Amino acid sequence: MDQLMAGAYTFLPLGFRVLKKIEEIIKKNMVEAGGQEILMPVLHPKENWEKTGRWQNLDILFKLKGSGHKDYALGPTHEEVVSPLAKKLVLSYKDLPFAVFQIQTKFRDELRVKSGILRTREFLMKDLYSFHATLEDLANYYEKIKKTYFNIFKEIGIGKDTYLTFASGGSFSKYSHEFQMLTDAGEDIIYICNKCKTAVNKEIKHETPVCPSCSSDSFVEKKAVEVGNIFTLGTKFSLPFDLKFKDKDGNLQPVLMGCYGIGLPRVMGAVVEASHDEKGIVWPKNIAPFLVHLISIENSDKVKRVAEKTYNNLLKEGVQVLYDDRDDKSAGEKFADADLIGIPFRVVVSEKTLAKNSVEVKERGKKTAKLAKLKDLVKIIKL
């Protein structure tokens, strides 16, 4: 990553590959949960934000002036766009339920930005919006997305450290939920229930002495970072935009909504916090920029030939390989770079390994390397 200014980062090639893999996992799970992908504008008219009162009340809203002194907002979230959009499409109960999502850059004019990519002014986010005719249908979908979120975090590699956390509900329901990943670098404090393992955030802990899920009063305090959140919005946005549907009796009813967010760079930052050692990152396999970091050392003709053969064989098997064939770097420098980048498997070809008719395989995060025959390499890596 490269910092352009506080809160704005460029994703360089390796980091961008990680971001795209996180995006693919999220996208696949959203589609499986019935979401249809769309893309809404980043640039919003002031009028939509005035309708909900958030032009004045949302302090992180980026505002800008266009030509003719017209006012615009840069979207920090898209209820002000998706609600009037749904109004054009939803006529009757037969049009419900449905859910749409997008993966798009959001803007938040944060007063302070810190912790690298954990809190930035511009970031890629997945936002899903669901639309329902009944409270029961909304509640069922909300529970479904809870499970979907845990599946996403499990696939990304942070499932076992991530806790469903009760947070304040805002205008509609008593609670919303955050997904909090434990890390000492986190800016949030959560209290994990010793009995049922759900958590409450600091705000909720001050309001209630017992677990909202199981009524136990025994908690353990931990530092965490929020990697996702879900809200039941109810009629909060359908009312200002007059988003209504005709029920079975022909009466007009407000549509009920839910919204569900995941910040992608934040998830990526959380993974790095959760999975690193003193030498660098240890990427989980599913989101690693490559699966294999192939290194040739003392580049003799024979070493080069075998390394290139290994590279091509792995590519043919669909294995993503970063091939370090630099002639001007020592073995030590190449190993240090491999540890820093954190690709799951390091494969070394050298005169020493070739003397044993083998290549050396080492898993990032493990202490020992082992020799493997070229023909067995794919099997070892894909296990």
Least CB distance from residue 169 to Zn ion, whole Å? 18
Least CB distance from residue 217 to Zn ion, whole Å? 9
> Judged by CB, which is closer to Zn ion: 204, or 271?
204
Return the residues of window 194-223 that contact Zn ion according to CB under 5 A: 195-196, 211, 213-214, 216
Tell me which stretch binds Zn ion (CB under 5 A): 17-25, 137-145, 186-194, 360-368: 186-194
Contact mark string toward Zn ion, 128..167, x via CB under 5 A:
----------------------------------------
Tell me which stretch binds Zn ion (CB under 5 A): 185-193, 236-244, 324-332, 336-344: 185-193
Q: Does 52 bind Zn ion (CB under 5 A)?
A: no
Least Cα distance to 317 among 260, 374, 250 occurs for 374
Least CB distance from residue 163 to Zn ion, whole Å? 11
Least CB distance from residue 189 to Zn ion, whole Å? 17
> Judged by CB, which is closer to Zn ion: 12, or 214?
214
> Judged by CB, which is closer to Zn ion: 178, or 273?
178
Least CB distance from residue 219 to Zn ion, whole Å? 9
Contact mark string toward Zn ion, 338..357, x via CB under 5 A:
--------------------
Tell me which stretch binds Zn ion (CB under 5 A): 5-13, 123-131, 192-200, 265-273: 192-200
3-state secondary structure the chain: CEEEECCEEECCHHHHHHHHHHHHHHHHHHHHCCEEECCCCCEEEHHHHHHCCHHHHCCCCEEEECHHHCEEEECCCCHHHHHHHHHHHCCEHHHCCEEEEEEEEEECCCCCCCCHHHCCCEEEEEEEEEEECCHHHHHHHHHHHHHHHHHHHHHHCCHHHEEEEEEECCCCCCEEEEEEEECCCCCEEEEEECCCCCEEEHHHHHHCCCCCCCCCCCEEEEEEEEEEEEEEEECCCCCCCCCEEECCCCCEEECEEEEEEEEHHHHHHHHHHHCEECCEECCCHHHCCCCEEEEECCCCHHHHHHHHHHHHHHHHCCCCEEEECCCCCCHHHHHHHHHHHCCCEEEEECHHHHHCCCEEEEECCCCCEEEECHHHHHHHHHC
> Judged by CB, which is closer to Zn ion: 92, or 216?
216
User: How many residues lie near Zn ion (CB under 5 A)?
Assistant: 7
> Judged by CB, which is closer to Zn ion: 213, or 286?
213
> Judged by CB, which is closer to Zn ion: 20, or 195?
195
> Judged by CB, which is closer to Zn ion: 3, or 215?
215
Residues interacting with Zn ion, by CB under 5 A? 193, 195-196, 211, 213-214, 216
